[in-house]
């Protein structure tokens, strides 16, 4: 299988004819000594003989679980009032947890699979661009490094601030350039739903990691620290009873199904019993007005073509009406909606493409394999599968016609027909 080899001298990466030079080394910073640890991997609910990428998925699951623990710990410090919330150029929020998760996952994957590149949301340009005389930049990098070294699985070497920044940049826009040939690469969303992460203890957010092989999402992991088995609240308000729980780890591999279990209480306490894993399936609803729908928090029902045929309600106690559908609230981000469909909590997730807004691969990649292996179906609004190779050089953007349609499979063809009749 073609791979892009990135194990080059540390001062540059060369892919094809393009040279990518690493940013200058920042001022010396203190080094952290990482605990020595053997290669840890999460036990999976299916045998290695059944899964071509069993080793990759096991390592990814362990890394995502550690990343979730990092998020929980950083969130505690956020609530204590520390300055750890930043704003990117597009005014979207980013936190130490976003950078920390990307650094942790990037570092661990590079140790185990150095030839597989990473496509991820963040880079360190924001952190590096601060005034060198401004100590706040050093404080931020210090905080990110501290969060990472406390959770990362390493061989006992030292990890400096520069190592952490380089790990973040390994997934950045300029880290690697693809071409039209098939490739194998990771896709990471360090925190999908950062706004939810910032809302409070109960809001859902997801750490999502997928492995793409020759344009197809082959395996993936989603971790959601605030997931619970209790039905999610359907109103846009925080609810302690609705969202608090031990969290969920969902894994999926083509041909092996989608499975989930509770997040471990502590890092390193990975259970080896397959009994704790539960097979995930989409629901079996085949009647549109009986289905449970999700839409992005930034969109309203009247932006969806089906609004011409159905009104909507968020009240589950409303009597069923063949002219009205139920909208479920799932807080921020796209991946928690995929999580809901894959686990059978929702039947459909609609997302409309909007002018001047790019649809990022990391917001959908891992969700695709999890829903498909749970029995669902994903496409653009015309019914065509999502093309993760359309962005030939970056593999960072997808271009679904109309938007993205995620369903339980039973409703898919009906909904595509309804969209076709009501959307031009």
**Is the pTM of the predicted complex or chain greater than 0.95?**
no
Q: Where are the domains of the chain?
A: 42-280, 288-422
CATH placement of domain 288-422: 3.40.190.80
User: Is the pLDDT reported for residue 114 higher than 70?
Assistant: yes
- pLDDT for 317 equals 87
Look over the chain and give the mean of its residue pLDDT values, rounded to a whole number.
82
Say whether 121 counts as a known binding-site residue: yes
Q: For residue 131, with 0-12 CB atoms within 10 Å meaning exposed, 13-18 middle and 19 or more buried, which class applies?
A: exposed
Dist CA 400 CA 379 (whole Å): 8
Mean pLDDT of 65-81: 83
- pLDDT for 84 equals 56
Q: 69-78, 96-105, 182-191, 300-309: which has the minimum mean pLDDT? A: 69-78
Strand pairing of 118-120 and 184-192?
parallel
Say whether 191 counts as a known binding-site residue: yes
Active-site positions? 98, 194
Say whether 163 counts as a known binding-site residue: no
Dist CA 197 CA 211 (whole Å): 24
CATH 2.40.128.20 is right for the domain spanning 42-280: no
Of 77-86, 148-157, 305-314, 322-331, give the range with the top mean pLDDT: 305-314
Say whether 321 counts as a known binding-site residue: no
* Tens digit of each residue's pLDDT (9 = 90 or more) over 14-37: 333 333 333 334 444 333 333 333
Mean pLDDT of 133-162: 76
Question: How is 198-235 classified by DSSP, letter by letter?
Answer: HH-TT---EEEEEEEETTEEEEEEEEETT--SSPPP-S
* Tens digit of each residue's pLDDT (9 = 90 or more) over 184-205: 999 999 999 877 777 766 778 9
* Tens digit of each residue's pLDDT (9 = 90 or more) over 225-281: 989 875 444 444 443 333 344 799 999 999 999 999 999 776 444 444 445 899 999
- pLDDT for 11 equals 32
Positive or negative torsion for Cα 360, 62, 108, 54: negative
């Amino acid at each position: 299988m073609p791979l892009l080899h990135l194990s080059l001298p540390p001062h540059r990466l060369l892919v094809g004819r393009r040279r990518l030079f690493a940013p200058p080394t920042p001022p010396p910073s203190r080094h952290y000594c990482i605990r020595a640890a053997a290669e840890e991997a999460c036990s999976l609910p299916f045998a290695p003989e059944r899964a071509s990428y069993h080793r990759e998925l096991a390592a990814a699951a362990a890394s995502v679980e550690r990343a979730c623990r990092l998020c929980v710990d950083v969130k505690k410090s956020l609530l204590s009032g520390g300055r750890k919330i930043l704003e990117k150029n597009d005014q979207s929020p980013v936190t130490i947890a976003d950078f920390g998760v990307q650094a942790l996952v990037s570092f661990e994957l590079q140790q185990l699979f150095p030839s597989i590149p990473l496509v991820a949301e963040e880079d360190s340009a924001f952190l590096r661009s601060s005034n060198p005389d401004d100590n706040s930049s050093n404080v931020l990098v210090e905080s990110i490094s501290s969060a990472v070294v406390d959770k990362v699985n390493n061989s006992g070497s030292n990890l400096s601030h520069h190592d952490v920044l380089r790990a973040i940049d390994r997934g950045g826009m300029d880290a690697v350039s693809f071409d039209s040939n098939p490739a194998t690469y990771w896709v990471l969303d360090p925190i999908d739903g950062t706004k939810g992460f910032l809302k409070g203890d109960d809001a859902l957010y997801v750490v999502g990691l997928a492995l793409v092989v020759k344009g197809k999402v082959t395996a993936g992991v989603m971790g959601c620290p605030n997931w619970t088995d209790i039905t999610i609240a359907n109103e846009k308000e925080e609810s302690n009873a609705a969202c608090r729980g031990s969290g969920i780890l969902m894994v999926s591999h083509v041909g092996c199904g989608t499975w989930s279990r509770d997040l471990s209480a502590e890092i390193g306490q990975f259970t080896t019993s397959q009994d704790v894993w539960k097979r995930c399936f989409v629901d079996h609803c085949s009647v549109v007005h009986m289905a449970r729908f999700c839409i992005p928090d930034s969109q309203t029902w009247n932006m969806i073509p089906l609004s011409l045929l159905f009104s909507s309600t968020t009240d589950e106690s409303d009597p069923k009406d063949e002219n009205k559908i139920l909208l479920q609230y799932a807080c921020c981000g796209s991946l928690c909606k995929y999580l809901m469909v894959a686990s059978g909590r929702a039947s459909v997730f609609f997302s409309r493409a909007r002018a001047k807004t790019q649809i990022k691969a990391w917001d959908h990649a891992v969700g695709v394999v999890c829903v498909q292996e749970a029995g669902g179906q994903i496409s653009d609004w015309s019914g065509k599968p999502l093309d993760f190779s359309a962005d030939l050089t970056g593999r960072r953007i997808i271009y679904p016609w109309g938007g993205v349609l995620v369903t339980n499979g039973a409703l898919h063809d009906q909904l595509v027909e309804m969209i076709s009749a009501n959307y031009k």
